[in-house]
Amino acid sequence: MESRKPPPSALVDNHVVPGDVVLDLTEMTNQTIKLGAGLRQDCDTIQTTSAGRLRLSKPNKYWVESSQKRYIPSVEDTVLGVVVDTKPDNFLVDIKGPNLAFLPVLAFEGGTRRNIPKFEIGTLIYARVVKANSIMNPELSCMDATGKAAEFGQLKDGYMFDTSTGLSRMLLSSPTCPVLEALGKKLSFEIAVGLNGRVWVNAPSPSNVIVVSNAIIKSESLSGIGQRSMVESLLERLS
């Protein structure tokens, strides 16, 4: 068996539109590739189904990244959800997706029938997507893979606002994105970013929360240098 490395697609890190042929499977035998969002297999080719940037995580994971207001759930994403209803077995959580997500009442660290948390409608929850497929409601969990609470669970106080999925991915990128770095030098705040385009910010004083959230909203269309100067001018006005 020859173990030839698969040639990466020429379109990696480029913009793709629906219908673009990303990979030709006839050239790559005996290889496994994993497809993420925005890609599908059509006979011997892999085609894109959504517009965005093609990403490759070595060795073999491909997906298309785009910025949109709507969120398509995918497994292992961390999301911010809003409880819209409570059922005996599940909380119904809005995660900006096509369907409401289920959060089983037992999906908490040490969760038993005895200690079901009480969430009123409108509670903000930081959770992890554990099941996501197009024909069923997605399922969330407030535990990490080892069954620990990690940081998941209810978020209290603070302020939550909606952004695009692209912006929330930018906020989570590493190294730390310029806007958060510049803000963090001057202010202290807590932040939780959901990949579904929701951001929660908390700080001791309301004015700091407002500055941070507006800086983040404005940073979407700015370059790194633009973000820093925007944050500086905002902070000047604050002081």
Partner 1 sequence: MDHHQRWHPTVNEREFIERALQSDLRVDGRRPFDFRRLKILFGREDGSAEVQLGDTRVMGYATAQLVQPYKDRPNEGTLAIFTEFSPMADPAFEPGRPGESAIELGRVVDRGLRESRAVDMESLCVVAGKHVWSVRVDLHILDNGGELNVPDAMVLSLRNLIDAANIAALAALSTFRRPECTVGGEDGQQVTVHDPEVRDPLPLTIHHLPIAVTFAYFGEGNIMVIDPTYKEEAVMGGRMTATINSNGDVCSIQKAGGEGVMSSVIMQCLRIASVKAADITSKIKNEVNSYTSAKALQKVKRLPASALKKDNAPDVAMKESSDGALETQSTKPSSDGQQINKEPPSVVEDNKQEDVEPMLSECNPEAQSETRLTAGGSDETQEAISPKSLKDAVKPKHKIKKKQHSKS
Is residue 163 part of the contact set for partner 1 (CB under 8 A)?
Answer: no
* Distances 155 to 46, 62, 124, 159, 191 between C-alpha atoms, Å: 40, 33, 6, 10, 10
Contact window for partner 1 (CB under 8 A) among 9-17, 103-111, 119-127, 142-150: 119-127
Considering only residues 54 to 83 of the shown chain, the ones binding partner 1 according to CB under 8 A are 69-70, 82
CA dist 238 and 220 (Å) reads 21
Binding partner 1 by CB under 8 A: which of 48, 123, 163, 168?
123
Question: What string of H, E and C letters represents the secondary structure of 141-171?
Answer: ECCCCCCCCCCCEECCCCEEEECCHHHHHHH
Is residue 228 part of the contact set for partner 1 (CB under 8 A)?
Answer: no
Is residue 156 part of the contact set for partner 1 (CB under 8 A)?
Answer: yes
* Min CB(212)–partner 1 separation in Å: 11
Is residue 206 part of the contact set for partner 1 (CB under 8 A)?
Answer: yes
Contact window for partner 1 (CB under 8 A) among 45-53, 103-111, 114-122, 126-134: 114-122
Contact mark string toward partner 1, 10..49, x via CB under 8 A: ----------------------------------------
Number of other residues whose CB lies within 10 A of the CB of residue 47: 17
Number of residues that bind partner 1 (CB under 8 A): 29
Task: Looking at the chain, list the stretches that DSSP marks H as alpha helix, in order from N- to C-terminal side.
Answer: 165-172, 178-186, 206-218, 224-238
Alpha carbons within 13 A on the beta-carbon side of 230: 21
Residue 215: φ, ψ to 5°? -60, -40
Judged by CB, which is closer to partner 1: 207, or 223?
A: 207
Is residue 235 part of the contact set for partner 1 (CB under 8 A)?
Answer: no
